[in-house]
């Protein structure tokens, strides 16, 4: 007598029971239900055998400890990255200030114009500030992506 195929809900239940069985966390009732799945459905038995093999293999895996010199290089690299990150923050802030000041001086004649409304002056300053921030951001992004761009050698 062949059994009808498992439904999606039954497969989900079997897999939940199988996971608990692998971890040794089945109650007595769950053990009976799990054994019933294994005895009635060969596909469940096959999957159970595969997962048992997988668990045995993963339990045998041992991780090698890296040498102490590797950890020293790791921490030096972390410190370098932090220092460079902080350095780029200061460079960006400095570039924004210098470019903003230079731009402000360039449009100072417009600002000093008494016939120009205050909201136009504020608009010009906001536009200038936005342009400077975007310019610095784009230059910084291009600099960093140029170093890590996998496709920079490819001509388009």
pTM of the model: 0.40
Task: Output the pLDDT for position 140.
Answer: 83
**Eight-state DSSP code of residue 134:** H
How high is the mean pLDDT of the chain?
Answer: 83
Strand segments (E) across the chain: none
Pick from 44, 43, 42: which is nearest to 34 by CA? 44
Q: Helices 8-22 and 28-40 sit at what angle, rounded to 10 degrees?
A: 120
User: Distances in Å between the alpha carbon of 71 and those of 35, 82, 85?
Assistant: 48, 17, 21
The answer for residues whose C-beta is within 8 angstroms of residue 131's C-beta and 6 or more apart is 103
58 pLDDT above the threshold of 80: yes
Instruction: Classify 119 as helix, strand or coil.
Output: helix
Task: Output the pLDDT for position 90.
Answer: 92
Using 50, 70 and 90 to split pLDDT, how confident is the model at 150? low
Instruction: Classify 26 as helix, strand or coil.
Output: coil
% the chain with pLDDT above 70:
92
Q: Where are the alpha helices (DSSP H) in 3-117?
A: 8-22, 28-40, 42-60, 68-106, 108-112
């Amino acid at each position: 007598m062949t059994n009808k195929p498992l439904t999606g809900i039954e497969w989900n239940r079997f897999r939940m029971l199988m996971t608990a069985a692998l971890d040794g966390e089945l109650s007595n009732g769950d053990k009976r239900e799990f054994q019933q799945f294994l005895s009635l459905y060969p596909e469940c038995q096959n999957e159970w055998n595969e997962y048992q093999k997988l668990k045995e293999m993963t339990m045998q895996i041992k991780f090698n400890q890296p040498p102490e010199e590797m950890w020293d290089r790791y921490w030096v690299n972390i410190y370098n990255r932090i220092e460079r990150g902080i350095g780029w923050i200061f460079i960006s802030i400095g570039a924004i200030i210098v470019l903003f000041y230079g731009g402000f001086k360039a449009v100072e004649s417009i600002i000093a114009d008494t016939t120009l409304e205050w909201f136009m002056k504020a608009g010009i300053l906001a536009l200038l500030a936005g342009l400077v921030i975007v310019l610095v951001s784009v230059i910084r992004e291009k600099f960093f992506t140029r170093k890590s761009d996998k496709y920079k050698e490819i001509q388009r």
